[in-house]
Chain A
């Protein structure tokens, strides 16, 4: 915040401007817009929300296809089951997400913010509801200013009511990813939802309602850490939403079809529609600003105006700093995508993705932990044998039940007492005790290395060779 205020004062503006946005907030009423980028944004809204609202209902092998089962501490993602030991995959996934973000941002600016971020997507949906109920931008501004009446009360109730219903459904879906959604559904209708599930459902709903309904662009401007540091991934070859100042200025109103040069003006007719459609309420003609989420609404809006004026489209367009400066076309812009920064991000990303896929593909479907029973150390049993006791924990990570053969090796005359064949259910585990016996003269005094072999009876390749130590007194 200090930097924002000092920047504001450096520009000669009073430093309270930044604060006043948060405290005495000027409400942004974005004007609806249509066009190619609006279509893209809606396509992304549909795609992300079909995945979010729909995926939790998808069955798979008699269970929920995607379920982050916190109680059992297992994450199910289609055919895969992840245990806490697999946390490395989660870490790699986060690194992949981060590098993808770096790469996309370096090439195409804030693509994530403009098209895919949940904040953008839900704001889009909530604004759409608002527009359907209260009307277009001007009607909404008028309604805001109007005194309370029966009509205003009804419109407000309808809007907030619809928002609340959607928010509740979103919160319900959220909980459905952690507790099987059909259970949650039945519990909700029989009023038997657990207190914490209820809490998280309402918590997530309240945040959705607040962020998408009321805070909107303020979340991007004041609360999002990414908005603050995305600038470091930008360079003069990064595609951003750019107003062509050279072509547009000096701006000014004029009649349709007038050649700008004949009135010594630029192409910008100063209609202000680019400002009206902006969900963050900025003027793109002031240049690149951190408040710009790159949604391209102003491009669609300006193109329509240019079309009406019979001027060429693209006064506001996706372009780069260099391209504007040097009057490059798309060919040169594309030619400058490959540059050291992009190559570095792409190489690292490709390497990590390869490692991730390889790791998932070769993920062991069987895990064995051997713990020596420390209470008994070693003892002599009948027949002059020395016995050590171990606890074996066999984890079947696969989706099918497995029978495993357990054996021990590593010392002359070694043998074991206990289950030699064990059955472990799918995505389950079994703990059991094994007594290992060795002749007293076998091995050296002290610690000896031995091995437990656990092999699947169905598939020989599924086997674990686990080290342990045998204590000879």
Chain B
């Protein structure tokens, strides 16, 4: 649970900032989707944009969490077969 929050919460905050900056500068109507102008409503574009930012940021947080595992935790997985309990930031 703790790790899920560590991944989802900071990414939520950063996605919020990214959303505001991105859509202040860019009007959704100027966006193209696979070469076609977007047919989605603006509210839908903003919403999908936010969820997209969130997903990307969460991906980054997830990788950070994954890479922060200590050598001992990684090695433990090879021998004992369980390393998932100890997590992020240790």
Q: Which residues of A contact B2 (CB under 8 A)?
A: 19, 22-23
How many angstroms from the CA of A267 to the CA of B43 in the assembled complex?
60
- Determine if A222 and B5 form an interchain contact, defined as CB atoms under 8 angstroms apart: yes
Query: Number of contacting residues on A, CB 8 A?
Result: 23
In the complex, which residue of chain B has the Cβ closest to the Cβ of A19? B2
Segment with Cβ contacts to B, from A146-154, A193-201, A231-239, A253-261: A193-201
Q: Is A84 an interface residue (CB 8 A)?
A: yes
* Interchain CB contact under 8 A, A70 and B89: no
Instruction: Indicate if the CB atoms of A70 and B1 lie closer than 8 Å.
Output: no
Residues of B within 8 A of A90 (CB): 20, 24
Instruction: Tell me if A197 and B89 are in contact (CB < 8 A).
Output: no
Contact B42 A71 (CB under 8 A): yes
Indicate whether A304 reaches chain B with its CB closer than 8 angstroms.
no
B 1-54 contacts with A by CB, 8 A = 1-2, 5-6, 9, 13, 20, 24-25, 27, 41-44, 46-47
Question: Do residues B88 and A197 form an inter-chain contact, with CB atoms below 8 A?
Answer: no
List of A residues within 8 angstroms of B24 by Cβ: 84, 87, 90
Q: Are B43 and A70 in contact (CB under 8 A)?
A: yes
**A200 to B90 Cα, complex, angstroms:** 35
Q: Are B43 and A2 in contact, with the CB atoms below 8 A? A: no
Given the interface contacts A1-B88, A199-B47, A200-B47, does A225 sit within 8 Å of B13 by beta carbon? yes
Interface of A, helix, strand, loop or mixed by DSSP = helix
Residues A73 and B43 in contact in the complex (CB < 8 Å), given A222-B5, A223-B9: no
| B47 surroundings in chain A (CB, below 8 A) | 196, 199-200
Of B5, B41, B44, B90, the contact of A5 (CB 8 Å cutoff): B90
Rounded to whole angstroms, the CA-CA distance of A2 and B6 in the bound complex is: 13
Residues of chain A contacted by B42 (CB below 8 angstroms) = 70-71, 73
Bound Cα distance from A23 to B13, whole angstroms: 22
Provide the bound-state CA to CA distance between A73 and B23, in Å.
9
CB-CB nearest in chain B for A175: B43
Chain B residues near A19: list those with CB within 8 A.
Answer: 2
A197 to B9, CA, bound (A): 22
Considering the complex of A and B, which 10 residue pairs feature the smallest CB-CB distances, nearest first? A1-B89, A196-B47, A196-B43, A22-B2, A87-B24, A71-B42, A223-B9, A196-B44, A2-B89, A84-B24
Interface residues of B, Cβ cutoff 8 Å to A:
1-2, 5-6, 9, 13, 20, 24-25, 27, 41-44, 46-47, 88-90
New A-B contacts (9) at CB < 8 Å, excluding given A23-B2, A73-B42, A90-B24:
A1-B88, A1-B90, A2-B89, A22-B1, A73-B27, A84-B27, A194-B43, A195-B44, A196-B41
16 A-B pairs (CB sep. < 8 Å)? A1-B89, A5-B90, A23-B2, A70-B42, A70-B43, A71-B41, A73-B27, A73-B42, A84-B27, A90-B20, A90-B24, A194-B41, A196-B44, A196-B47, A199-B47, A222-B5
